[in-house]
Structures are given as structure tokens and as C-alpha cells.
Amino acid sequence: MKTTLFLSYVCVLQISLCHIKNYTGYKLYHVKPSVNQYEKLKHLNEEEGYDFWTQYHDRSIEILVAPFKQREFQSLLDKLGVEAELKVEDLYKHFVKVQMAEKKKQRSEPGMSPFDQYLDYQQMCNYTQSLQEKYPGIINVSSFGKSYEGRDLQVVRVTRCKNHCPVMLIEAGTHAREWIGPATALYIIHQLVENNTNNNLVNGLDWRIIFLLNPDGYEYSRNHDHVWRKTRSKQENGCFGVDGNRNYDIHWAEVGAVTTKPCSSTYPGHEPFSENETRALKNYVLGLKGKAKFYLSLHSYGNYILLPWGYTSEKPDDIELLKDLAEIVGDSFSKNNTYFIGSPPELLYAAGGSSQDYMKAVLDIKYSFTMELTKTEWGFFIPSTHILSIMPEVYIAISEFAKGMLNTYPN
């Protein structure tokens, strides 16, 4: 009865959760297993009712557990002697808390900027188009393909370069629920175009920013299932979607948590480049081969700057160059916002099929990185009221990457 009244109250407030997948009773646990204990827990990510929100690092992982699995989960923790704390008591109420903060801000600040809220796909396109109309000499917006559901995949080019400047390629929004990534990409575009103090970065570099690679999944996450991660292509057994960051043809489905279950949130697809979105990005970057010197994939959450390779503990020959630059970037963050630097096998887990590895190994982009953006108490679902407290520091880090490219490839 209390739950029914609570849901009715939310609907009366016109908070747009009534048509969203209901996560009432889902709990998020911060689990602290040893390496041996984790080995006995990791199979849960393949089972219905469990969703690993982070990967295992420094004896820590965050796991979302459905109500019908909570007794089983607690029994397993007790049996293994694993320490755990409850981070979110009820995910639905967590969403409501975020939504109410959003609504309150919208009422108090009707003229909000694009960085005080999470824009939908069309609003993002409208925003970048408005910038192109206002600054036609510096920015160009174009489509490099179509998503599974037919949405334009857009890339924003920002440059005043007159000669052959190195291409800085940034991509965000591969994973649908990581809303802070596309928001950050838009903020980077804003800074480059509208902040004159960044002119040197625009004059000497050719920026290509893909602010939302997975628009279908993003819209589905916004409007139907906030926890949705994958694309939205139809799969077998009534399942949908593929994990875009396991879909590239670089040790595809060879290492890591490889699954053949199409409903799994980490399903790599039935073959490499099965997805419109990953194929389109590959083909676009092929056209930049020899020009693109830098690639960054924006994800959340976890405070990591990830280096190649993701599929093996072996290192590329030039790893020290990449590490040196990453350390400069890491030092740009405040002391209470430390970023960990290393390869996925060192910090998280080994996995094949990532965009970062493909860009470096196959498309010859020397400086290829992934950033897992700021970890907060909110997990993936950072309230819009917190966005502008995160973005400026991330932009400073991006500018350090850019300065590194200017020093390495002077024009």
C-alpha cells in the first residue's frame, strides 16, 4: 500500500518515471571481496537479477541486485565471508530523488543552460546546429552514418587550422546509461567554440567530437529503462542490443567476461561490427587514417584513465609515452578527485573488442585512451544540479591531452 501511494505521489508530481521500468526494491551494494572471493562472485553478472555497475578494482565492486535475488545474494556473501555495505536502499526512490531535484531546478531556473540538464538526442543536435549557425567559420556538424533505429550519427568538427593539423577524436555515449559522457562532450564543444581562451587549441588542432555514438540506447535509457547499457538492435530470443565497446574486431569475444547470451548487458554481438554504430565509427575513422593522432572514449564511472591494451597484460612498445601524457592529465585533477592510470587488466579486467584497442592497433592512432569519468555517490545517475561541478575539471584534463598533442605534433 505504501509503495502504491508513493508511486501515485510521483505521478501526481508529473515526474516522468511512471512509464519507466520499475526498479522498486532493487538494491545497490558496495562489495569488498578478496581476489579469491571475487572469483566466486563474478559468475553472477551472467545471471538474471544481477548487474555489475563497476568492475572489480582495489578489492571493490558495485552490484545491483533485484528483489528476488537479494536473499540468495546475502547468503552467498555470508558463506564466502565477503564484506559489503548497502549503497542504495531502493533504486526507484533513488531515481525519484534525482528527478525531483531536476524538476525543482527547472522551476527555479527556467532559462537553464544546456549544461544544467541532460539533453535528449534532438536537443543535442539542435544545440550543435545552433553553434554552427552562430560560428560558421569554426564549427561544422555532419552525419557519418545512421543508428539501428535510423537516427543520424553526428560528428562535430571544430578547428581554425589552415594546414594539416593533427586530428583529436573524442567519442562519448557508447553505453546508454552513462549520461554524463555526452553531456561532457557537449561541454568540450562549448568551451572550444565559445571560450576565446582556448583559441590555441582550436588553431593548432583539428577536433572531431562524436557527442553521442549510441543515440538509440540513450533515448531508451532516458525514456524506458534508466539502467539500459547496450544498443537497441534486435537479437535472438526476444533480446535487444549489443555492448558497443566489445564489438570491435580486435580480439573480439576472446577474453574477459565473454558471453553468448544475447540478453546479457555485456553481449559482444554475433560477430565483430554487427552494429550500425560501431561500423559507422570504424568507417569514419578509416577516412582519417594517418591524420588522427589522438582518440579518447568517454565513459562513466570510476575515475580511471585507461591505456592500451585491454585484451592482454602485454604493453604496446610506446606505452611510456602514453603513460607520461596520462600522468600529466591525472595531475590536473584536484587531490580529492584522484584518477587511477593503467591498462584495463591492471586496474579492472581484461576484455577484447574495445574501441580503444582497435583505434590504436588497426587504425594507427598512436595516443588512444579511455576515461571513466568521475565517481560520485550517485553512480551513473548524477543529478543535473551536479553536472557543472564536474565538467570544468574534466575539461581542464582534456585540454592537457590537447596541449600534449600540440607539443608532439607542432604545426
Euclidean distance between CA atoms 177 and 225, whole angstroms: 9
Element (H or E) spanning 27, and its range? strand 27-32
Q: Where are the beta strands (DSSP E) in 33-105?
A: 50-52, 61-65, 83-88
Cβ proximity of 252 and 352 under 8 Å: yes
Pairing of strands 304-306, 206-210: unpaired
**C-alpha angle 317-321-323 in degrees, rounded to nearest 5:** 100
| 89 is known as an active-site residue | no
151, 122 contact by CB (below 8 A): no
E strand residue ranges, 270-345:
292-300, 304-306, 340-342
Contact 209, 155 (CB under 8 A): yes
Residue 39 burial by Cβ neighbours in a 10 Å radius (0-12, 13-18, 19+)? exposed
Identified catalytic residue from 133, 149, 372, 393: 372
Residue 260 corresponds to which cell in the numbers above? 553468448
Alpha helices in 146-260 (DSSP H): 180-194, 199-204, 215-223
The overall longest dimension of the chain from CA atoms, in Å, is 68
Contact 386, 115 (CB under 8 A): no
Q: How far apart are CA 201 and CA 159, in angstroms?
A: 8
Quick one: CA torsion of 207, 293, 341, 314, rounded to 10 degrees?
150
> Which residues, at least 6 apart from 125, have a Cβ–Cβ distance to it below 8 Å?
141, 152, 154
Distance (Å, rounded) from C-alpha 347 to C-alpha 66?
A: 27
Give me the sheet containing 152-158, strands edge to edge: 139-146, 152-158, 206-210, 167-172, 292-300, 367-373, 304-306, 340-342
Q: Which residues are catalytic?
A: 372
